Amino acid sequence: MTGAAGGSGDGRPDPAEPGRAWVFGDNIDTDQITPSRFIVSSDPDELASHAFEDLRPEFSASVETGDFVVAGENFGSGSSREHSPLSLVGAGVSAVVAQSFARIFFRNAINLGLPVLICSGADAIEDGDEIHVDLDAGVVTNHTRDETYEAEALPEFLQSLVEQGGLKAYTKAKLDG
- What domains lie within the chain, and their CATH numbers? 19-176 (3.20.19.10)
- Predicted pLDDT of residue 79: 87
Pair 67, 92: CB distance under 8 Å: yes
| CA–CA distance, 47 with 35 (Å, rounded to integer) | 9
Amino acid at 122: A
| CA–CA distance, 80 with 56 (Å, rounded to integer) | 22
| CA–CA distance, 92 with 158 (Å, rounded to integer) | 20
- Predicted pLDDT of residue 138: 96
3-class secondary-structure state, position 44? helix
**E strand or H helix that includes residue 89:** helix 83-90
| CA–CA distance, 22 with 19 (Å, rounded to integer) | 10
| CA–CA distance, 89 with 92 (Å, rounded to integer) | 5
Per-residue pLDDT 10s for the chain (177 aa) are 433 333 444 678 999 999 999 999 999 999 999 999 999 889 999 999 999 999 999 999 999 999 999 999 999 999 888 999 999 999 999 999 999 999 999 999 999 999 999 999 999 999 999 999 999 999 999 999 999 999 999 999 999 999 999 999 999 998 997
